[in-house]
Amino acid sequence: MAALSRAEAGERDPARPVTIDLHDVGVRALNAEVHAPSASSYEVLNPQGAHSIAAGIHDEIDVHVRGHAGYFCAGMNQRGHVVVDGSVGTGVAENMMSGSVRVRGDASQSAGATGRGGLLVVGGSASMRCGISMKGIDIVVGGSVGPMSAFMAQAGRLVVCGDAGDGLGDSVYEARLYVRGSVGALGADCVEKPLRDEHRAELAELLAAAGLDHDPGEFRRYGSARGLYHFTSEHTGSY
């Protein structure tokens, strides 16, 4: 494997961005570097849709991916700040714990799946199952989301500035869902709820963090009717 296109670690200025060209080195070399970073900022060139780019970061570093990424980009992120100048494949920011991931294009299915913390921003639209089983992550989507988004979402906030497909919030627990556009058929046990002042304030904070300026009053809130918290025989058809 070719060496990374950078100075040796001992000669490096940790404040200066390090450029890593995936045309010359593989993703394994990139991830080995960001798992034990010798700089605070990285620029990744020629990603060409490669999978698992910048996965497993656990330090407070910046990673800027200049192009499209494949599956599981920035998965398991903890404390890192990742920006993707393009679109991403399945499972971006999967199981993210903290930090931020910003995608300037679209995201495929299962964006932010099982995420426990941090902020995921998708500038375009996200496909089906966005926020599936989210456990505390905040997700802001500038466009629309596909069917079954926030399926079994346990905690966290999902903000959709466009439309949401059928099955939104199916079997949702205590996650808060905000949608600015139209919503297809709601999932099992998901209902529309009042948008109170506390929710408008929460929305304003999330939109500002995502760099969006929509009026929080344009959104509707959805959440759990809490009818499926306990199994009962009369609910059998809903499971």
Q: What does the block give as tokens for 116?
A: 């426990």
Largest CA distance in the chain: 68
Q: Does residue 214 lie in a domain region?
A: yes
Tell me how crowded residue 232 is: count the other CB atoms within 10 A of its CB. 10
Residue range 173-203, pLDDT digits in tens: 999 999 999 999 999 999 999 999 999 999 9
Note whether residue 21 is domain-resident. Answer: no
Distance separating alpha carbons of residues 49 and 68, to the nearest angstrom: 5
Residues 190/222, Cβ–Cβ less than 8 Å: yes
- Print the domain residue range for 130: 47-225
83 - beta bridge partners?
64, 102
Tell me, yes or no, whether 221 lies in a domain. Answer: yes
Q: Has residue 138 been placed in a domain?
A: yes
DSSP 8-state symbol, 117: S
pLDDT tens, residue by residue, 114-144? 999 999 999 999 999 999 999 999 999 999 9
In whole angstroms, give the CA distance from residue 44 to residue 54. 9
Domain for residue 81, yes or no? yes
Q: Is the residue at 218 inside a domain?
A: yes
**Domain contains 174:** yes
> Which CATH number covers residue 159?
2.160.20.60
The CB-side HSE value for 147 (13 A sphere, CA atoms) comes to: 4
**Domains held by the chain: number:** 1
CA distance 5 to 198: 49
Would you report the helix, strand and coil content of the chain in percent, each value rounded to 5? Answer: 15, 25, 60
- 36 within domain boundaries: no
Report whether 175 contacts 153 (CB < 8 A).
yes
pTM beyond cutoff 0.75: yes
Q: What does each of the 239 residues of the chain score in pLDDT, given as a tens digit? A: 344 544 444 455 656 789 999 999 999 999 999 999 999 999 999 999 999 999 999 999 999 999 999 999 999 999 999 999 999 999 999 999 999 999 999 999 999 999 999 999 999 999 999 999 999 999 999 999 999 999 999 999 999 999 999 999 999 999 999 999 999 999 999 999 999 999 999 999 999 999 999 999 999 999 999 988 766 666 666 65
For residue 204, give the H/E element and its range.
helix 197-210
CB 104 within 8 A of CB 122: no
